[in-house]
Structure 1
Amino acid sequence: MITIKDLSKVFQTKDREVKAVDGLSLTINKGEIYGVIGYSGAGKSTFIRLLNRLEDPTEGSIHVGDQDLTGLSKNKLRIARQDIGMIFQHFNLLWSRTVYDNIAFPLEIAGVPKEERSRRVKELIDLVGLSGRGNSYPSQLSGGQKQRVGIARALANNPKVLLCDEATSALDPETTDSILDLLVDINEKLGLTIVLITHEMHVIRKICHQVAVMEQGRIVEKGDVLDVFLHPEQPVTKKFVDQVMGDQEKEHSLKLIKDKYQSGKIVRLHFVGESTNQALISEVSRKFVLDVNILHGKITQTQKGAYGTMFVQFEGDNEEVARAIEYIRSTSVEVEVNPDA
């Protein structure tokens, strides 16, 4: 659906060149929710603006379907952009227009007849959960409602792709979750391809199928969200995964137990999918003569299934501990022995 090859963007400042996007290549399949995550300055906002040519690339190509956006004239680009909707961090609504008129605005520009325009706007108001608010102004809406208007406006021309530029970072956690649920609903109902950039791993974890991690203008890691959660390779990816899995609590727990007991083996258990439902610790306690101390644990849900991690300490005879670890390895649970705190 979207193919990006060797994409670069260089900005010229007074005294130097800044390469905001550096040789980026990516393939996004039709109907996917694809997350791009990075800290401030990673280049992700520039990247998403390149996708609909709000910024012109210095090098590289962007294909949406069979169309090369980087080779289009201004007139053809204007038409092509109707297939690409975009929602923004700060909503970018027209404050002097009602909800209805904000959503109708791109249809007016596209020359859609009034009757058809009215039908489409009412349809979109219902879709995003704003029934009865068509005559309200943005100043009368909550942050979440404003973003719903932004989403409805972005969907007005029936785009094939929806770009989300930090769409939830200005919202509180509860409102963020409701907007993410709406995006999943839209993805499923309309088969829409969604590209979402964020600095929050919670957003990636909750709704994305695939993720790319950006750092200094480059993609340093990418793949299926669950795989990235299970086996983060780059330091920046590990930091993002720790955002969701509560690593600070884990470190505190490990330090306390090591300081107190100074013995035993500490292991990290990774539970994936159905293995998160196993009563594994109870089984180990029954089968083997050892003490099991649970230090820290958490289970979270991704679009591809549940993922859990647990830190435990085994106290007992070395051979018995080794047998217990081998038993756990014989299940679908992954084991890492004596992980660094």
Structure 2
Amino acid sequence: MISIEGLRKVFKLNNNDITAVDDLTLTIPEGEIFGVIGYSGAGKSTFVRLLNRLEEPSSGRIVIDNQEITALNSKQLRLARQGIGMIFQHFNLLWSRTVEANIAFPLEIAGVPKEERARRVQELIDLVGLSGREKAYPSQLSGGQKQRVGIARALANNPKVLLCDEATSALDPETTNAILNLLVDINQKLGLTIILITHEMHVIRKICNQVAVMEQGRIVEQGNVLDVFTHPVQSVTKKFVQQIMGTNEEEDDITNLIDNYKDGTLLKLQFIGEATNQTLISEIAKRFDIHLNILQGKITQTQAGGYGTLFVQVMGEQEEIDRAVSFIQEQTSVEVEVIRDVN
């Protein structure tokens, strides 16, 4: 488990104090893929560099795997960092070294014997899908392959925590998905705790279990990804959710539906988690003497489950429609909103 209490980082700039991380307190469970999202300048990259003391905290306490990182001296910190891997946006590879030599570098620093080093490097090359590219140099690799080298290097010393600072920001969408799938695979196979720093909500959606939203150096909202997606509270969170869920588009769609479908009652149904797999519409049609017309719908998947929106036109006697709406309201993980009722 990672425990962070009152973490603060203040930089001096032209005799002015700039607070990059401000009284941040957070608990991250062991084995979690935990996302931290924020716009540029929110303090998220400074935060992740504080975790392994690439940046020194101004104040606060960081405990990783029962070891207080903020209390270690230089020698102790060097040893502790072997248990904290890190991958970067721009790969940070050694361009004069081959793939296998880049991966071996932290093992050399740790004093691992040559034969053991070679065996570990080959394990990691196989794990990240770079078999056959052992002798290639970074200049001969694609962006995705370079990041795979960076991931393998970060895993060399069997860390318990992997820090990812904008690890997919320099990659195209297809390569991004491949790298995210690799991180999920690593998390499941090795039981690593992964902290993922990003400004891209689709990255959070795809692989994170929990998310914290940063603004002006503070955590302004956090929780289960599905909960944050379906019920964002802070304005900055709503903007991020809007990127992936198309909230503005949905508002336009509602206006168009009201204009184009003049008869009956229009319902907006929201399905959360397991409810996206239920045959609710079929059940309603069987139970009640009403006519249903599905107008529009979509399902967005997150690591924690699906989130779906469905627009339905309902026609029939008002009493029967009211009974159907009541039935929907009784369902777990389904929310219903009457967006127009002309009966």
Is TM-score (shorter-chain normalized) higher than 0.5? yes
| 1:13-32 equivalent positions in 2, closer than 5 A | 13-14=13-14, 16-32=16-32
Kindly provide the CA deviation profile for residues 121-170 of structure 1, in whole angstroms up to 9, marking residues without a partner as x. 11110110000100001111111111000000000111111000011111
Letter in 2 for 1:3: S
Q: Which residue of 2 aligns with 1:79?
A: 79
The C-alpha deviation readout for 1:17-48, integer Å capped at 9, x for no partner, is 22111111011111111111111111111100
The structure-2 alpha-carbon separation of the partners of 1:221 and 1:339, relative to structure 1 and needing over 3 Å to count, comes to farther
Equivalent residue letter for 1:202: H
Match of 1:152 in 2: 152
Range with greater deviation from structure 2 (116-125 or 312-321):
312-321
Displacement of 1:260 after TM fit? 3.7
Match of 2:54 in 1: 54
Answer whether contact 1:267 1:335 (CA < 8 A) is retained. no
> How far is the alpha carbon of 1:252 from its aligned partner?
2.2
The residue number in structure 2 matching 1:216 is 216
1:21/1:282 CA distance change after superposition, 3 Å = same
Q: Secondary structure at the match of 1:274?
A: helix
* Other-structure match for 1:231: 231
Q: Deviations over 1:202-235 (max 9, x none)?
A: 1112111111111111111111222222322222
Q: Which stretch has the larger CA shift, 238-247 or 99-108?
A: 238-247
- The residue type paired with residue 167 of structure 2 is A
- Structure 2 matches for 1:97-116, cutoff 5 A? 97-116=97-116
Unaligned runs of 5+ in 2: none
Q: In structure 1, what residue type is equivalent to 2:77? A: L
Q: Which residue number in structure 1 is paired with residue 195 of structure 2?
A: 195
Give the Cα–Cα distance (whole angstroms) in 1 for the partners of residues 18 and 312 of structure 2.
47
Identical columns (%): 68
* Structure 1 segments unaligned to the other structure (5+ residues): none
Structure 1: distance between partners of 2:334 and 2:224: 18
Say what the alpha-carbon RMSD is for the aligned residues: 2.0
Residue identity opposite 1:2 in structure 2: I
TM-score by length of 2: 0.92
- Measure, in 1, the Cα distance between the counterparts of 2:173 and 2:61: 36
Q: Output one character per residue of 1:283-340: Cα deviation in whole Å (capped at 9) or x when no partner.
A: 3345445554545422122223222222334455543332221111122242242469
C-alpha distance in structure 2 between counterparts of 1:291 and 1:19, whole Å: 59
User: Could you give the per-residue CA deviations for residues 224-255 of structure 1, whole angstroms, max 9, x where no partner exists?
Assistant: 22222232222222222232223233122112
The one-letter amino acid of 1:9's match is K
| Residues 258, 339 of structure 1: alpha-carbon distance in 2 compared, 3 angstrom cutoff | closer
Cα distance in 1 for partners of 2:296, 2:197 equals 30
Contact 2:271 2:335 in 1 (8 A): no
Give the secondary structure class of the aligned counterpart of 2:35: strand
TM-score (norm 1): 0.93
